[in-house]
Amino acid sequence: MPAMSRTGRNSLSGLILPASFYARPTLQVARSLLGKYLVRETPAGLRTGRIIEVEAYSGFHDRASHASRGRTKRTEVMFGPPGLAYVYLIYGIYHCLNVVTERAEFPAAVLIRAVEGEAGLIDGPGRVCRSLAIDRELNCHDLTGGTSLWLEDRGDRIRRTAIGTFPRIGVDYAGAWAAKPWRFRLKM
């Protein structure tokens, strides 16, 4: 288990992203997440992935967001404080990982859609979770604590021009909200 020093630097090479990182406007957090590292503790050791693609979901009125239908048992975590994990099961088979953003009572999160893993590109939110052994046991997990699952800044500098902006995937039901350019992907 990686020990945390008072500076927030863990025993490996990265700086664990603190709650203040997540407590910002969701589109800003989404872009900032590109080039950060997802770190998962497993009995077999650490598995990491560099974040390549994300999608933002923000606010009560975003019809593509699960929270747009209100505060329910499932969406409750999106109304929680920034820096929590929102993990849900989709199509009965796959899991999707989000990080909760902004502030308590305001529902917002960023979906992790792709990472560069040790063995190459892992493209798709279900594949990301499968690769990093992420499931609903990690729903509501505190991502700022440096255990089980967290995010790190390892100093990668991302140029603005290296970020592509696109509509979100699989939300055609959301009407005009589906067209919003809230998907961000690193050009590789």
Among 40, 33, 134, 145, which residue's Cα sits nearest to residue 84?
145
At closest approach, how far in Å is the CB of 48 from DNA? Answer: 18
**Interacting stretch for DNA, rule CB under 7 A, among 10-18, 45-53, 124-132, 159-167?**
124-132
| Of positions 91, 120, 160, 161, contacts DNA by CB under 7 A | 91
Q: Are strands 37-42 and 149-153 parallel, antiparallel or unpaired?
A: antiparallel
36 versus 183: smaller Cβ distance to DNA: 183
65 versus 144: smaller Cβ distance to DNA: 65
| Of positions 33, 51, 84, 96, contacts DNA by CB under 7 A | 96
Among 74, 58, 72, which residue's Cα sits nearest to residue 25?
58
Mask of contacts with DNA, 17-46, x by CB under 7 A?
------------------------------
**Interacting stretch for DNA, rule CB under 7 A, among 5-13, 14-22, 27-35, 60-68?**
60-68
| Of positions 78, 84, 134, 186, contacts DNA by CB under 7 A | 78
Among 98, 103, 17, which residue's Cα sits nearest to residue 55?
98
173 in contact with DNA (CB under 7 A): yes
155 in contact with DNA (CB under 7 A): no
24 versus 66: smaller Cβ distance to DNA: 66
**Interacting stretch for DNA, rule CB under 7 A, among 16-24, 28-36, 44-52, 63-71?**
63-71
CA distance 114 to 117: 9
Q: How many residues bind DNA (CB under 7 A)?
A: 35
Q: Residue 140 — left, alpha, or beta (φ > 0 → left; ψ -120 to 50 → alpha)?
A: left
What tokens appear for 71 in the block?
């505060």
**Cβ–Cβ under 8 Å, residues 142 and 83:** yes
Residues that bind DNA (CB under 7 A): 55, 57, 64-67, 69-70, 72-75, 78, 86, 88-94, 96, 98, 109, 111, 124-128, 168-171, 173
